Chains A and B, each alone.
Chain A
């Protein structure tokens, strides 16, 4: 059993220690917002925040995240209550096919948590690990700037939902240990 915090909630998972975190979250915990893209840490579709750092989870063994804090796209917000970046994404019409966008928003969240006034080049550096085949980069950049302005004006929050609701993703392998 490996235990870690997922979107604020402690989970215990029975999976071999070398299983990539991505597949533990997608298949054992059936949370599908985080995507599989390349399996080599090259495209960023699988990005999650590990202790606040945008991390490629398709190559991150689950044993390496024991007792650490993981945040997925579902942990930032949901359709009823979106984070500032998610709102900015919608306002700027960012997604096209949409498949890479969970990873893009995770990386943007990590950036703005460190720097709420990023330059173009700060954004380029922070986002260069996330490939978008549809080429949404111009609107990704626009959305990040808009969200950063909201944060600077005290109007935003990088995480709209604080508590992970286990009933939303209940699976036999998920165990609630503490709330």
Chain B
């Protein structure tokens, strides 16, 4: 058995650079902190959007016009998680303007929109509120100060007599709009360290502030990528190889060209596209389009299914049982401590591949005008999209304009920009402006999937039944090799020739020689509980199905694995699952606190309605701490989740209502995975295709959810993802309480 098969090459760039892939593969690349240390390079003088004389536009994020219209160019992508409201609220607080008065704009690519932590224009990792919390408020406070200074100058009053109120300067008992002073303010130098408001003085942060995008999204007027329209726009559908990574050997379009509306049939790097006046015409042409494929070698032989006999699972199991592994983490004596344990409890768990299934299928619109290229899309990293578009469109990066829309769901899927590469290639080959629309089937079958994972724990106990050592080994694919190429290239200056970019990319990878394990492959498996000794090891097994960032990333499986294991240990020791967890959370007080509060809230241990059982799980991720307790019944093998109680500590909740929604959202997303989610592969092709065989939880299947936010003065931390990791464990543990059956594989099924 081989555990080091070459991963699939997914795009033109990597096809040309399989040696780089091998290099990455050998390095076991690499880390979540990867991009942080590399300086962002590129053109430093790109002009601000919509620039106007007389306006105050201190940077690419904020514009105050002489008419007192305030524009906030939203640096992070709004995909449902609430940055459109949350970031605006933070800006509004220090600018002293009601959030509802600010015009929020989805933005194109610009270096000043870089995520302060990643140094890329990337939205992900539940960090938007956290990383902008100081810089964005500081910027707004400085701008408010410079407007006050300008007002002081114009009105010839001392600064301390110039106050503000909701976008107005208040002086001498009069109110004058900020806009009256923008022209003067624009010529003053911006102060740098204006003191920020104290929590007690907040008007908007921490209060209920309505979602600013709700009206547009409740009236059908919010623009998503699929809604882009202009005269002369054509629609495209793409026929791809059933096996991921396959390429076109030859094709025959004679049956297609005469079909109604069809304007062009073009071959691109991964398939053959039909361009037509309307989408239904392009889509109808695909079945009669005859394409011969060049199949990729490795993935074609791969089949997986949920049964023990499926060779997919066998690959992971063999890797897990092999002696091969890299160490990701060690404390104390690591695994050696097992030799002196009184008892060793073992458990082995499995989680399958998962698709993102955003409601809006992938899409991108591309239009060439001479050497200039425009693209329209909703994505999680427009800067990378621009770079990819330049590469596939064979134009200079500065000649690419990105128009961003709302995202009809992201969940990590729209970090990868394969649909941009496709749309640009089709527009270039056909010479027509095109909107590439993925069908639901395309979307299900061509994802960057949540990596399937298997893990084995060995927990060493002392004579009192307490945990002495916590050891875990995970087998599965790593995400970074599938995403690093796009990201690394996007960070290179646009004027460098391609060969040099490639060379620098390789040199860049050398910076991460110290990393041996992709942290997203093991995160969440070992951190939460106290133990004198710990070890986390990893062995890479990768059949070649592309994998990517799926809401909560490694935590999406590690939360289930770790919390099931902990439950098993507690129950084997005949100890209460809550009390036993608390005993091992002494060094994790914020997580312990959420557990105590949740247990109190549900009356843990007190009688429940007939046939109902509780299961508990805790998990820290993205710097937030979550406990969930699920109330479950099982009848004739049917699992019913009645209620989920969730306690969260995310530091200061900037918008408590959105925080609650994000917990509900994470729970329901995680519950879909816990009860239904499974992508399987047959001879290299993904089996599932649409919502009938990849079901999503519906309203009638959804539990009641109660969310409690812990009051906190700590700085805000993640909420978009941390609600997800505990839920599968909580439900699995409740099923055990109900039935005595321990389900160690996802999705949870009683057969």
Binding site for B on A (CB under 8 A): 16, 19-20, 23, 27-28, 30, 32-40, 42-43, 45, 72-74, 76-79, 82, 86, 89-91, 93-102, 105, 123-125, 127-141
Residues of B within 8 A of A37 (CB): 359-361, 440
Chain B residues near A89 (CB, 8 Å)? 214, 218
- Which residue on chain A has the smallest CB distance to residue B227? A32
Whether the Cβ atoms of B82 and A96 lie closer than 8 Å is yes
Q: B606 at the A/B interface (Cβ < 8 Å)? A: no
Which of the candidate stretches B120-128, B239-247, B449-457, B695-703 sits at the interface with the other chain?
Answer: B695-703
Instruction: Tell me, yes or no, whether B669 is within 8 Å of chain A by CB.
Output: yes
Bound state CA distance, A130 and B79, in angstroms? 19
* Interface residue B235 (Cβ < 8 Å from any Cβ of A): yes
Chain B residues within an 8 Å CB radius of A86? 218-219
Decide if B698 touches A40 in the complex (CB within 8 Å).
Answer: no
Tell me the complex Cα distance, A82–B210, Å.
Answer: 16
Q: How far is the CA of A129 from the CA of B213 in the complex (A)?
A: 24
Inter-subunit contact A27/B217 (CB<8 Å): no
Assess A131 versus B691: contact at CB under 8 Å? Given A20-B280, A40-B440, A43-B359.
Answer: yes
Judge whether B103 is part of the interface by a CB distance below 8 angstroms.
Answer: no
Please, could you name 27 A-B residue pairs with CB atoms under 8 Å apart, sorted by A?
A20-B280, A23-B278, A27-B235, A35-B359, A36-B437, A39-B441, A40-B692, A76-B219, A79-B216, A82-B219, A89-B214, A89-B218, A90-B215, A93-B657, A94-B214, A95-B213, A98-B216, A99-B358, A99-B360, A99-B408, A125-B700, A130-B699, A132-B699, A134-B359, A135-B697, A137-B664, A138-B705
When distances are taken between beta carbons in the complex, the residues of chain A under 8 Å from B690 are 38-40, 42
**How many positions in chain B have a CB within 8 Å of any CB in the partner chain?**
61
Q: Confirm or deny: B485 has a beta carbon within 8 angstroms of a beta carbon on chain A.
A: no
Contacts of B219 in A (CB 8 A): 33, 73-74, 76-79, 82, 86
Quick check: B691 and A102 within 8 Å, CB to CB? no
B671 CB → nearest A CB, Å: 8
Inter-chain CA distance A38–B696, complex, in Å, is 12
**What separation, in Å, do the CA atoms of A133 and B670 have in the docked complex?**
11
Chain B nearest CB: distance from A155 CB in Å?
18
Tell me if B82 and A35 are in contact (CB < 8 A): no
Task: Provide the bound-state CA to CA distance between A37 and B408, in Å.
Answer: 10
CA distance A28 to B704 in the complex (A): 42
B409 touches A39 (CB 8 A): no
Q: Give me the 9 closest cross-chain CB pairs, A-B, nearest first.
A: A33-B220, A135-B668, A98-B217, A99-B408, A97-B80, A96-B80, A73-B220, A95-B217, A32-B227
Question: CA–CA, A98 to B58, complex, Å?
Answer: 32
A123–B699 contact, CB under 8 A?
yes
CB <8 Å contact, A95 and B409: no
A32 engages B702 (CB within 8 Å) = no
Chain A: CB-nearest residue to B439: A39
What separation, in Å, do the CA atoms of A56 and B235 have in the docked complex?
22
Contacts of A94 in B (CB 8 A): 214, 218
Measured CB to CB, the nearest residue on chain B to A140 is: B699
Most A Cβ at <10 Å: residue of B80, B81, B357, B669: B80
Minimal beta-carbon separation of A8 from chain B (angstroms): 16
A137 and B668 contact, CB distance less than 8 A: yes
Considering only CB atoms, which chain A residue lies closest to B657 in the complex?
A: A93
Asked whether B667 is an interface residue with its Cβ less than 8 Å from the other chain, the reply is yes
Q: Chain B residues near A91 (CB, 8 Å)?
A: 210
The residue of chain B having its C-beta at the shortest distance from the C-beta of A31 within the complex is B220
CA distance A73 to B220 in the complex (A): 6
Contact of B699 among A32, A82, A95, A128 (CB under 8 A): A128
Closest Cβ of chain B to A171, distance in Å, is 9
A100 to B216, CA, bound (A): 13
Given contacts A28-B278, A35-B359, 19 further A-B contacts (CB under 8 A): A23-B278, A27-B279, A32-B220, A35-B408, A39-B690, A76-B219, A79-B216, A89-B218, A93-B214, A93-B657, A95-B214, A97-B409, A98-B218, A124-B700, A127-B700, A131-B359, A134-B409, A134-B665, A137-B664
Which residues on B sit within 8 Å (CB–CB) of A130?
A: 698-699
Q: Does B329 contact A (CB under 8 A)?
A: no
Cβ proximity bits B663-686 to A, threshold 8 Å, 1 near / 0 not: 011111100000000000000000
Q: Which residue on A lies nearest to B278, using beta carbons?
A: A27
Is A35 within 8 A of B661, CB to CB?
A: no
For B671, give the chain A residue with the smallest CB separation: A135
